[in-house]
Amino acid sequence: MSSRLDKEKAVNVQVLLRCRPFSDDEVRSNAPQVITCNDYQREVAVTQSIAGKQFDRVFTFDKVFGPTAKQKDLYDQAIIPIVNEVLEGFNCTIFAYGQTGTGKTYTMEGECRRAKSGPKGQLPADAGVIPRAVKQIFDTLERQNTEYSVKVTFLELYNEEITDLLAPEEISKATFEDRQKKTLPLMEDGKGGVLVRGLEEEIVTNASEIFSLLERGSAKRRTAETLLNKQSSRSHSLFSITIHIKEATPEGEELIKCGKLNLVDLAGSENISRSGAKEGRAREAGEINKSLLTLGRVITALVEHLGHVPYRDSKLTRLLRDSLGGRTKTCIIATVSPSVHCLEETLSTLDYAHRAKSIKNRPEVNQKMMKSTLIKDLYGEIDRLKAEVYAAREKVGVYIPKDRYQQEENERKAMADQIEQMNASLEANQKLISDLQEKYDSELRHSADLSKKLEVTEKCMDHTSNLLSATKEDLKQAQYNLKEKDYIISEQKKAENALTHQACVLRSDLEKYTRDNTSLYSKIARGDKLSATNRSVVNTFQTDLASKLDTLSNTLNASIDQQNMHLKAVEDLCQSCVDSHDRATSELKKKILASKSLYMSHMEAFQNVVLLHKASANATLEDISSLSATSCCSLDQLLVCVEGEAQNIFNDIHKLLTTHRSEMTHFTQQLRESFQISLDRTKEMSTYIIGLFDKYVEETSKLQSHSNNTHEAQMKSIEDFQMVYEEQSKSEEQKLLADISSLVSKHITRQRELVGAFS
């Protein structure tokens, strides 16, 4: 049930990210920007270039403040609620974490010096979280018009040693070595917390007092110039403001509400080489990193819920114990640079801060105290301090408060009991040791007896083993001989087997060759037969072809003669026809000429009549005209009649001639064509037959030569094979004989040797 409640109350550590603007040096060196802040989406993107490719890693935080964000923006958005909670009675811690020169001190302190001189207590724009928080606290308290008290402490943690930055002047004026001696011890407060013994608590009544304290303390902080920051803080600083506010219950009882604000400015998280720290500075950086490493381990243990959280491994984590996984509300401001030169540290800061987001605290409001109880506590404190002062003045010892004395007394008693118990166990252990010593002595005696017996037995053993080795040697020899015999027999068997195998192989080869020979002979015989048949076929074909060609050429000659005769007859016929036509034409021409002359004479007669009648003149003109018309008409009729007759005759002759000519032409054409066709065919046939004949002759000669070649090659291969076969069989026979004789001789020698060895 309680764990459930705890879980319900658990609050994550709030993590803010602030990226500062480019410094003058970075602007001068033209350093590329690798950080992009998205304040609205609370994201920071880091652009990395791996193997020439750009990768963006994006981190999300509770709030993100880019390079343009002002001190006021950060304070108003993130810190005001935290300070309000302090005024409500919570303990809150704000700490700045980041590489050196990224603006931790700027964010936490800013420009405090000018804070005082601002008009009407106004803070300068550069004032950081601490002055603004102080101002907010006093403004609120004054507004509330209640009784309150404000105490501040300011300490520095340097090389794992705590110094008070608000220590009185005479102490702070001491040399560095003295200051080293004035380190303050860190002690358990008996209530589960820690307290720094002797740490000055300054009571302040207004903001400006705090500012001057802050300024005084800041001036004492160890700073040094590094490559990354001209005024680099080399230590962690813790500025605490404790507020007590008086409240009255309805019953009129007075209660005191208490809230505490821790403002931590951590030293730079840079690596030593990058920061340019040298000699003493390098050791310093190592120490800084050691306490930051422990802080990292604490964060890891808290995030991964490991059983053991190593708070005690460094003073820093002891001081921040309640702020990390405790009852305090915690806010981490991680600061980074936008430049590519700080990329490695920026990524490590982002990883660190991102992991810290998962830390859960269980903030509890501090119990309000009755005023009377507080006064009692304060009286007790005064008494303690008085006694301490007295002890210091009288130099009679150290004053320790009663409850603490009681606690230490109890521890002392517990330790005395523990020592007693240890003494008892020591005695028991000593007794055990003496018992064991006795046992050890008797064991030693027993072992001496045993060694003597062992010696005798060993001698016996030596003798027996000598005998055994001689016998073993004999046995080995016999076994060796036996093995040798076995080996010879097996070798002989192997040789016999090999010979048998060889003979089998040879026989099978011989059989194969014989079969090959037979088939070869039969093939040759078949080839011979085939070529003889081919030859007789070709001969028959040749004679047939010759006789057929003779017949064909005779037929052709006869046909050509016939054709010639036929053509002659046709030519004669044509000639006679043309002659008769010529005759008819000449007769017709004569008739036409006669008609023409007749016509001419008629015309002359008529012209004469006309001339006669013209001369006699006019009276009978009309009669003459009609007579002449009649004469003309009859003349025309005669002419038409003669002309028609002539035309008919001419047409008949022409028709006859045309018919004859076309018939003759057609006939001649037919004759010529058929003659040409038969001539072409005959020519073709004879060319084809001649080609065929040539081809046959060629083929026959080829076949003949091929069969001759084949025959010769076969004969040669048979002869070669016969020779090779004879040679090979002869050599193998010799080899076999040699092998057998060598084996037999070996065998005989071995047997002789064996017989010699056994005899």
Q: Which residue is nearest to ligand ATP (CB)?
A: 103
Distance CA 142, CA 148 (A): 9
Task: Kindly state the smallest distance separating residue 73's Cβ from ligand ATP, in Å.
Answer: 10
**Using only C-alpha atoms, what is the Rg of the chain?**
73
Per-position x/- string for 252-291, each x denoting binding to ligand ATP as judged by CB under 6 A, each - no binding: ---------------xx-----------------------
Look up residue 530 and give its two tokens.
């085939």
- Torsion angle defined by CA atoms of residues 744, 746, 749 and 754, in that order, rounded to the nearest 10 degrees: -100
Q: Is 99 annotated as a binding residue?
A: yes
Instruction: Tell me which of 75, 106, 138, 311 binds ligand ATP, using CB under 6 A.
Output: 106
**Which residues lie below 8 Å from residue 538, measured CB to CB, with a gap of 6+?**
696, 700
CA 33 to chain CA centroid, Å, is: 29
Instruction: Tell me which of 100, 237, 294, 328 binds ligand ATP, using CB under 6 A.
Output: 100
Distance CA 620, CA 641 (A): 31
Sign of CA dihedral 271, 273, 278, 280: positive
Q: Which of 35, 81, 40 is nearest to 64 (CA)?
A: 40
- The smaller minimum CB distance to ligand ATP, of residues 23 and 317, is found at 23
Instruction: Tell me which of 233, 317, 328, 330 binds ligand ATP, using CB under 6 A.
Output: 233
- The smaller minimum CB distance to ligand ATP, of residues 127 and 302, is found at 127
- The smaller minimum CB distance to ligand ATP, of residues 105 and 707, is found at 105
Distance CA 461, CA 463 (A): 5
Structural contact between residues 112 and 130, judged by C-beta atoms closer than 8 angstroms: yes
Distance CA 519, CA 504 (A): 22
CA 501 to chain CA centroid, Å, is: 63
Q: Is 562 annotated as a binding residue?
A: no
- The smaller minimum CB distance to ligand ATP, of residues 98 and 296, is found at 98
Cα atoms in the Cβ-side hemisphere of radius 13 Å centred on 106: 25
User: What residues does 565 pair with on adjacent strands?
Assistant: none
DSSP state, residue 311: G
Task: Kindly state the smallest distance separating residue 265's Cβ from ligand ATP, in Å.
Answer: 7
Per-position x/- string for 187-226, each x denoting binding to ligand ATP as judged by CB under 6 A, each - no binding: ----------------------------------------
Task: Kindly state the smallest distance separating residue 268's Cβ from ligand ATP, in Å.
Answer: 3
Q: Applying CB under 6 A, what is the total number of residues that bind ligand ATP?
A: 18
Per-position x/- string for 320-339, each x denoting binding to ligand ATP as judged by CB under 6 A, each - no binding: ---------------x----
- The smaller minimum CB distance to ligand ATP, of residues 89 and 110, is found at 110
Instruction: Tell me which of 91, 105, 163, 242 binds ligand ATP, using CB under 6 A.
Output: 105
Does 20 interact with ligand ATP (rule: CB under 6 A)? yes
Task: Kindly state the smallest distance separating residue 101's Cβ from ligand ATP, in Å.
Answer: 5
Question: Would you call 226 helix, strand, or coil by DSSP?
Answer: coil
Q: Is 103 annotated as a binding residue?
A: yes
User: What residues does 623 pair with on adjacent strands?
Assistant: none
Look up residue 740 and give its two tokens.
């057998």
Structural contact between residues 211 and 112, judged by C-beta atoms closer than 8 angstroms: yes
Q: Is 104 annotated as a binding residue?
A: yes
Site for ligand ATP in 661-720 (CB under 6 A): none
Piece in contact with ligand ATP (CB under 6 A), picked from 178-186, 231-239, 387-395, 556-564: 231-239
Residue 439, phi-psi category: left (phi > 0), alpha (psi -120 to 50), beta (remainder)? alpha
Per-position x/- string for 380-409, each x denoting binding to ligand ATP as judged by CB under 6 A, each - no binding: ------------------------------
Instruction: Tell me which of 26, 66, 92, 101 binds ligand ATP, using CB under 6 A.
Output: 101
Does 21 interact with ligand ATP (rule: CB under 6 A)? yes
Does 98 interact with ligand ATP (rule: CB under 6 A)? yes
Look up residue 177 and give its two tokens.
């070595």
Look up residue 614 and give its two tokens.
């013209």
Does 237 interact with ligand ATP (rule: CB under 6 A)? no
Distance CA 241, CA 93 (A): 10
Q: Which residue has the tokens 């550590």?
A: 13
Does 296 interact with ligand ATP (rule: CB under 6 A)? no
**Would you list which residues are annotated within the binding site?**
98-105
List residues near ligand ATP by CB under 6 A. Answer: 20-21, 23, 98, 100-106, 229, 231-233, 267-268, 335
**Would you list which residues are annotated within the binding site for ATP?**
98-105
